[in-house]
Amino acid sequence: MDKQTLSFQAEVKQILHLVTHSLYSNKEIFLRELVSNASDACDKLRFEALNNPALLEDAPNLDVRVAFDADAKTLTITDNGIGLSTDEAVANLGTIAKSGTREFMSALEGEQKKDAQLIGQFGVGFYSGFIVADRITVESRRAGLPPEQGVRWSSEGSGDFEIETITRAARGTSVTLHLREGEEEFLSGWKLKAIIGKYSDHISLPILMRKEEWDAEASKQVTTDEWAPVNKAAALWTRSKNDITKEQYDEFYKQLSYDTEPPLAYTHNRVEGRSEYTQLLYIPAKAPFDLWNRDKRGGVKLYVKRVFIMDDAEALMPVYLRFVKGVIDSADLPLNVSRELLQESRDVKAIREGSTKRVLGMLEALADSADDAEKAKYAAFWKDFGVVLKEGVGEDHANQERLTKLLRFASTDASSMQADQGVSFTDYLGRMKEGQEAIYYVTADNLAAAKSSPQLEIFRKKGIEVLLLVDRVDEWMLSHLYEFAGKPLQSVAKGSVDLGKLQDEAEKKQAEEAATAFKPVLDRLKEALKDRAKDVRVTTRLVDSPACLVVEEGDMSGHLARLLKQAGQAAPKSLPTLEVNAEHALVKRLDASAHFDDLANILFDQALLAEGGQLEDPAAYVKRVNALLLA
């Protein structure tokens, strides 16, 4: 094929502009990305060669080679991996198949735009070469194709690239960077070895560079023709924990996850027994941008006998732990395992169960630690990942008890909230009143609405703690969680409030007498609100407010109904019960009012607004209020 000039995809143009004009902190990241790509190419060849050994041709030993030419100001990274065909070169180097472009652009806002670490997080690592190069040339031949079907790709990182067919004897890919003025530091063997040692030491195949020796006549280091490995060429997880420093664990995590911060915690174990495998699992310190996407595959890489099999092996970790990053290396799984087989394998099930327990163990160690710094770590974890962890209460019944102990909530207890640690169920039990039979909670759209909920009034008066649940997942979680340590969970907005031993006989008698004396007004309210309320009764939960809405046990809460509506789903039609405070001045005026029906509807509407609901007819509400103001 003659040389052709083709245009980059529009998104690539945007990224190249940002790479060349904005990403200039920690420029050495480019070498990590290109070496990682080369290693991946070798892994892909090794995997494909399991079924087609002929792809290895006459070069079964896989490696990555890094070479530089100080005179030509070039740096070349070469692998003898799977290689590229012409079509693949156009597709992989001229377009971006992933949908992370917009997120990548968004992440480069403000101070972050100078951070080159971001480049690898969005699947555009190859383009990081333009941070230091004003031209990149790629020569490649795909394994299995004849030498005459090699390809050369080159670009200056502007609007287009050139591509042509070449003859290339060697299988694999060479990426040559023509360095910009001022980037000569990357033409130093010492510098390149230091970068490789920092970012790529764990890569399990050799990374080779030419040996250097001192030339006394020229008074400088010169390269020889002898190649030697510059990395340990041993996967980090296969080494003894005693031989690995925390810094090495942290650096491997950053390479694995493209995170700029060290992990919150990690666990490294070799498991023997029914299934034999090694696990190196990390909990990130910060939530990734796509944490809420449940369809996103997990962050665990699967190896079998140190052979890379697949990224993001979601079958190895439950969906609610999708934030976990790491590596699992199995000694039992077949090398040709597929995603479908992973779902059915008994060995995978054992790995999944064991790995889940390890992650929960890490979290328990932080949450239960007597050390304030460790507790603060768990508080930080909960702030970023707590909502996702709550999913597990309904999805992982085998570990529900462990997960429930890890839950944290806001609360009406002032001292616990000042500590900024959140309240656990265990904390709550330790503060329960003598004679209290239930764990009380309220759900709301946000913390402010929960704190101001009128249903809390009697609980505040008696000093009974109530948990404030404000995450969208809470209502769903509560449909799977009914009790903790033998104490039932009770919504303060459902059913009649029965405080049992916490309510003295005088209070009960007073409530009964109020209900009897107020019966004629209740009957009129029921008639006025017959299309809006299932029932109207005298409240035992209000102190300062005139009215509130509650639902009966077993009925859907107003909060959940609103969430379903927001999600475009139909909620079962269920009328609430209106509870009125017979001691409130506004309620006392009802019977003598000439605007009884208007006042009744205003009470209902105000109760609905107080719990965060929306009025079906705001104009009617305004009209009624205005009429009363003018009366």
Is 615 exposed, middle or buried (CB count within 10 Å of its CB: 0-12, 13-18, 19+)? middle
407-500: CATH architecture: 3-Layer(aba) Sandwich (3.40)
236-372: CATH architecture: 2-Layer Sandwich (3.30)
Domain-wise residue ranges, the chain? 4-229, 236-372, 407-500, 502-630
Mean pLDDT, contiguous 10-residue spans, the chain (631 residues):
80 71 69 88 88 92 95 97 92 60 49 46 69 94 96 90 95 96 94 86 87 79 87 82 91 84 94 90 87 71 78 83 92 75 82 94 93 90 93 94 95 71 91 90 89 90 92 90 93 76 69 81 92 89 89 73 67 83 88 88 91 86 87 70
CB 348 within 8 A of CB 315: yes
pLDDT score at 68 = 96
pTM tops 0.75, yes or no: no
Domain 502-630, CATH:
1.20.120.790
**Phi, psi at residue 395, to the nearest 5°?**
-100, -25
pLDDT score at 352 = 92
Q: Is 387 helix (H, G, I), strand (E, B) or coil?
A: helix
pLDDT score at 332 = 85
Cα 273 to Cα 10, 277, 331, 350, distances in angstroms = 53, 9, 11, 10
Q: Are strands 160-166 and 150-155 parallel, antiparallel or unpaired?
A: antiparallel
pLDDT score at 97 = 41
pLDDT score at 75 = 98
Nearest CA-CA partner of 233 in 261, 209, 200, 282: 200
- DSSP assignment of 126-140 equals GGGGGGTEEEEEEEE
Give the HSE-up count for residue 521: Cα atoms under 13 Å, Cβ half-sphere.
23
pLDDT score at 119 = 46
pLDDT score at 249 = 93
4-229: CATH architecture: 2-Layer Sandwich (3.30)
pLDDT score at 325 = 93
pLDDT score at 254 = 87
How many angstroms separate the first and last alpha carbons of the chain? 90
pLDDT score at 128 = 82
